[in-house]
Structure 1
């Protein structure tokens, strides 16, 4: 739980800037404000003031804005100081504020503590609080728009609407418990099963949207794997649009993982170029190959790249064996795209012999549009949709668990197998998991873990 003491932090990112913001929040900031500027500030008015040190020397001329509780971000009194953005200057401003706020117990904020106070004071729910961090960390325009919609409450509204429908269904079922001899007829007349089916359909739609939202938030860990000299680094450079990896005709040029982040149709892609997979006595190369296998084990998608111009890579046992090793190392449900590079060295007849295998040329760019479509399809991306939201793994887990309990409740509500007590209990459990998304039912230790991942000053 949050501390009751007033808190302070720099709210802007580290480094030099034209403006830097220092934020203070607490139950009563009038004494601190008066100590800083020798006057009481009127709420929501910009004041051009001079902050001075203990000897009366000017630290900075700044703009101070006072927000009176509860009409503030945190729901408490908030003082924002808009200073010049030099790191040393902001440190002096913080130091002076802590000196003059010592009597009131002013302390430096913990990560996410401002947003935590906003949540605890019912200014936002937990899904909206997480959307603030996601908005800051957004890696694409689609992710920004999705996080903004979540912050405005679109995701929470859908969750709350579903919770309300389950609540009404629970009321219906639990009220029927007092009349067991009429339960079947009562449930049929109230269309309980139809209402449950409608709830399950809406939940499924939310699950599909959340899966897309997680892709937007986290991006895709895409690993380029294969034997040495098949063109992994060339493909990375082609996808990145610049020379981020060294390319030579010498096999084993890449000794370590090279990572580059790009965007494909608004989806963040974290591409990892790995060392060529082969047996080696070179200690440095062996270490790089070990890291390659580590990357494969944590991938969301693996592109197994082969040399289209080499008959050994197309048909030989070496390629098959390597492919099987990669499949054995993959995380559960991680897809693999098998791609043949250097198609510019083949004629059409040769390229057609491999059927569904995708042929590309990292050198000329041939086949790259098709490869990008295959990548998006393999990870389940359905395309940017109007009204998309940002979701986290936590949200998806809660939605999946809610779906499991609704499926169980459906079994207990079937003809000839009605068990109202169990039906009602599964509905309650589903409702509880949905409530965890917005923070209505969430353990304090998990709450602390979520906000500890926020940046200082937010």
Structure 2
């Protein structure tokens, strides 16, 4: 395959826009000032009218007929990237597409970097950064629900709310700075009740948006759940039950699981990474001890820990010690397994600390309750319409914006710090701007678009 040279400003890029391998259709996409000229060289025929498909023969670098398909042209700025764009839609032959790609490079184009089409759309104002990220979220969606949420972000649902908050912050800041400029007047503008009410409403709106973003992040990135507990309490059995396959070896021999076993699942539309771990206990077996060390490392990184116990035996002193080691800051549920053998009740038990669910993993009893609780933990309900997808950086930016806004309200209460309040509002506004790309460092942009597919 042709490799991409270092990027150059204003040049014409080309890439295969369809998945690698055989397929019914293969698409080559061009964008840039020479896109039409390259397309003409590849077809040797007049270009069709804008936005109208025409049948054309595609030629390789030597001018030999290579394939036949549809040619579409889009004139700047009315295109995805905001530049002249051409698509050649032929048969899904990897060899033919590669030859066509080479021919395009001979005629003046260069191979696009991953995400460069979307990056150009962002630079040319066709998309903001949150919308651009939604493209790859839609491509990577693991469920219909996640795909719908990603499309909502692509349509601008998330960005619209960000923009409205940012504009309100600017208006409040302008009001405060204007009041400071006219502080010699008899009117005390900074004591205006409407200003304080507006900031309080902004704070509430920001909290709601932050909560929605956390739900969107769970839908896009999923949750990481670690199954932990003593040996032979049913961790691997529960993983197999949720996975629907025998992903983990299950025996009556303690210490069967010695390494981490990861299963990426979609549970009623929620992406979940389940990590089965070695049973936590003291051991002189070097291999098992390494598995236990890795188990604790996984627990440290988990969004949620499921701590399994055998309901026939109840909580042992060792179990209590392990729970204590988990610490109060690590979200944890205790799963009392094997209630079908203990005579216990399936379902959540009142007053549990940590929350306790009785279940029978092998029989599948209580598993539906567990999955439903997982959705609630992520802030999602099965009946909720998807809002939008979000990422960790979005959630972090919203948290920083909220912190700056709260500090501004505190400082405004003491009018001696009104100038500092205006500065905090500016910082809150800038934090929101990071989400849409208005205030974003170049290296962050590079990392974001590098994660895209070539041709996107």
What TM-score, normalized by structure 2, do the two folds share?
A: 0.91
Cα pair 1:259 1:272 within 8 Å, conserved: yes
- Are the structure 2 counterparts of residues 350 and 191 from structure 1 closer, same or farther at C-alpha, using a change threshold of 3 Å? closer
SS in 1 for 2:126: coil
- Are the structure 2 counterparts of residues 196 and 183 from structure 1 closer, same or farther at C-alpha, using a change threshold of 3 Å? farther
How far apart, in 2, do the equivalents of 1:199 and 1:411 lie?
A: 14
| Residues 121-200 of structure 1: pairs in structure 2 closer than 5 A | 121-182=124-185, 185-189=188-192, 191-200=194-203
1:20 corresponds to 2:26:
yes
Cα pair 1:30 1:40 within 8 Å, conserved: no
| Residues 244-255 of structure 1: pairs in structure 2 closer than 5 A | 244-255=247-258
Partner residue, 1:323: 323
* Gap regions ≥5 residues in structure 1: none
* Gap regions ≥5 residues in structure 2: 1-6
Partner residue, 2:4: none
SS in 2 for 1:3: coil
Partner residue, 2:364: 365
Shift of 1:393: 0.9
How far apart, in 1, do the equivalents of 2:405 and 2:348 lie?
A: 48
| Residues 334-373 of structure 1: pairs in structure 2 closer than 5 A | 334-348=330-344, 356=352, 357-373=356-372
Cα pair 1:143 1:390 within 8 Å, conserved: yes
Cα pair 2:339 2:345 within 8 Å, conserved: no
- Are the structure 2 counterparts of residues 53 and 111 from structure 1 closer, same or farther at C-alpha, using a change threshold of 3 Å? closer
- Are the structure 2 counterparts of residues 13 and 420 from structure 1 closer, same or farther at C-alpha, using a change threshold of 3 Å? same
SS in 1 for 2:89: strand
Moved more, 164-173 or 1-10: 1-10
Name the Cα RMSD after superposition: 2.4
Partner residue, 1:226: 229
Moved more, 285-294 or 202-211: 285-294
Cα pair 2:346 2:357 within 8 Å, conserved: no
Cα pair 1:128 1:152 within 8 Å, conserved: yes
Instruction: Choose which of 416, 419, 425 in structure 1 pairs with 2:417.
Output: 419
- Residue deviations 1:275-322 (CA, integer Å, cap 9, x gap): 22223343433333333222212111110111122x3xx242222223
Aligned residues: 446
SS in 1 for 2:181: coil
How far apart, in 2, do the equivalents of 1:353 and 1:139 lie?
A: 32
Instruction: Choose which of 281, 301, 309 in structure 2 pairs with 1:306.
Output: 309
- Residue deviations 1:233-256 (CA, integer Å, cap 9, x gap): 110111122222222222222232
Instruction: Choose which of 33, 36, 39 in structure 2 pairs with 1:30.
Output: 36
Cα pair 2:348 2:358 within 8 Å, conserved: no
How far apart, in 1, do the equivalents of 2:279 and 2:350 lie?
A: 23
- Residue deviations 1:302-359 (CA, integer Å, cap 9, x gap): 10111122x3xx242222223333x05xxx9430111111111112499999963321
How far apart, in 1, do the equivalents of 2:347 and 2:165 lie?
A: 52
How far apart, in 1, do the equivalents of 2:448 and 2:161 lie?
A: 21
Partner residue, 2:384: 385
4+ residue runs over 6 A deviation: 349-355
What TM-score, normalized by structure 1, do the two folds share?
A: 0.91
- Are the structure 2 counterparts of residues 348 and 154 from structure 1 closer, same or farther at C-alpha, using a change threshold of 3 Å? closer
Instruction: Choose which of 5, 10, 14 in structure 1 pairs with 2:11.
Output: 5
How far apart, in 2, do the equivalents of 1:158 and 1:350 lie?
A: 43
How far apart, in 1, do the equivalents of 2:185 and 2:310 lie?
A: 71
